[in-house]
Amino acid sequence: QVRQQGWASNLDEWQPGLSVLAAPILVGQQLLGTIALALIGPRLQELGIEKMARRVVHAAESIALRLEGKRQ
């Protein structure tokens, strides 16, 4: 599911009250790193998980483009 949607979540699983969304930074098929957003659970719910996940994925894609030498 993570590969299909392009992001992963950890909602209060590791640390109570802490929610994290993360996306891979891929150049070609090579994983160079990840970018993550950590918020308190209620704040993430307020902002919207899907909305914030799209922003995290967009940030990861922007970083990947810059690493490839392309400007967005």
- Domain-wise residue ranges, the chain: 2-67
**What kind and span of H or E run contains 32?**
strand 30-40
**pLDDT recorded at residue 71:** 57
Q: Which residues of 39-56 are buried (b: 16+ CB within 10 A; e: fewer)?
A: beeeebeeeeeeebbebb
Amino acid symbol at 57: V
DSSP state of 6: T
Q: What CATH architecture does domain 2-67 belong to?
A: 2-Layer Sandwich (3.30)
Does the pLDDT at position 1 exceed 60? yes
Check whether 68 has a pLDDT greater than 90: no
- Is pLDDT at 72 greater than 90 in this prediction? no
In this prediction, residues 34-56 reach a mean pLDDT of: 96
pTM of the predicted model, to two decimals?
Answer: 0.87
Residue range 7-33, pLDDT digits in tens: 999 998 989 999 999 999 999 889 999
Segment holding 51, helix H or strand E? helix 49-67
* 48 in Cβ contact with 31 (< 8 Å): no
